[in-house]
Structures are given as C-alpha cells and as structure tokens.
Amino acid sequence: MDVTDSERLTFEDYTPDHAEEDLVIHADPEVMRFLGGVQHTTVEAMREHLTYIANKYRAYRERGLPYVAWAVREKAGGALVGTGLLKPLPDGDGVDTEHIEVGWHLGRAWWGRGYATELGHALVARGFRTLPVDTLHVVTEIGNVRSEAVAKRLGMTYQGRSDAWYGNTVEHYTLARAAWASR
C-alpha cells in the first residue's frame, strides 16, 4: 500500500522543478551540518542534482525496488518543508547494501513542530508495507542529537556506533517489523 500523506504533510517524488524551493532548505549550512556540508548553491546546480535523484529513484522502481526520495510539503499552505528518504544504506564505497534506512531533512524554519517524527512514521510504514525487510535502520553522524531524538521518538533501539556505512562512524538505530506491527 502506498503512503502519500500524513496528518499535516504530503509526500511527492522529487523532480528538477523542486530546485528553487529545495535550495532554500539545502543551501543552509545549519541543515547540512551533519550531511557533509552545503553542496549546491545555485538553482542550476540544484536542478542538476535533482535530475540525478529523480533518475536514480526511477531506475530503482523500474527494477521493482520501491525506494523513495520524497519532497515533503506542509498541507496547510503547501510549502516545501523537507525531504524524506527510504533507501539502501551505502557501504564505504557507495555501493548499496541490503540494509534499508529511513532519513529526514527539514528546512530550519520547520524544526520544532514534530514534522520529522510525523514523516518518520510515514517512512517506516511505507518501508514495512512495501519492502520484504524485518528491520529498518537510522544512522546519524555523531553529535546530531536532533536526529537521534527523532529515532527515539519513533521507538527505535540504539545499537551503538557502526563503521559499516557511508565510510564514516555513525550512531545506529533499528526498528523491528514485529515491534512496528504490534503498535
């Protein structure tokens, strides 16, 4: 079953047309602090990046892999507020592993409203309903306490630090399908 909205948010696939709105979110050093720093600073560069993202996720779907990179909007007003991700964790060489992560980025103006937690619930539901996995993963850079707090609010279990993905040491959280289903 597809998930396209939640109580206060709607979810749509990224397209290059999101570039201008998305730049407001992802050219902010505070948003990118634990995401490798700002990478795209012009609408043109962001459009190119979003073309790459749209093509990548279309290719996944064509292979029967229902991963998502969502552009997330606020229902009230329709503003783009951030990004939701359901995708394989990459190993240190950038190669997809069998471990599936959920992830969230919000523009700074949208922090402190519970939107990331609401988005996280929707991503988890989407993951367990569409993918044959028993576990979903969250990884955060060390020090990204806001993101760790989202994982905790989603009922995830802390597994310690790991060097298995992104070529980086990360804090690792998991949620078991059985725990999700029993709620």
Q: Are 16 and 45 in contact (CB under 8 A)?
A: no
Instruction: Examine residue 103 and tell whether it contacts ligand COA (CB under 6 A).
Output: yes
- DSSP secondary structure, 18-52, as one string: GHHHHHHHHT-TTTTTTTTS----SHHHHHHHHHH
Classify burial at 161, counting beta carbons within 10 Å of its beta carbon; exposed 0-12, middle 13-18, buried 19 or more: exposed
Per CB under 6 A, the segment of 10-18, 38-46, 51-59, 97-105 that binds ligand COA is: 97-105
Instruction: Examine residue 100 and tell whether it contacts ligand COA (CB under 6 A).
Output: no
Give residue number: closest CB to ligand COA.
Answer: 114
List the one residue from 12, 16, 24, 35 that touches ligand COA (CB under 6 A): 35
Token match 């190669």: residue? 95
Closest approach, Cβ 10 to ligand COA, in A, equals 16
Instruction: Examine residue 146 and tell whether it contacts ligand COA (CB under 6 A).
Output: yes
Interface residue list for ligand COA (CB under 6 A): 31, 34-35, 103-106, 111-117, 140, 144, 146-147, 150
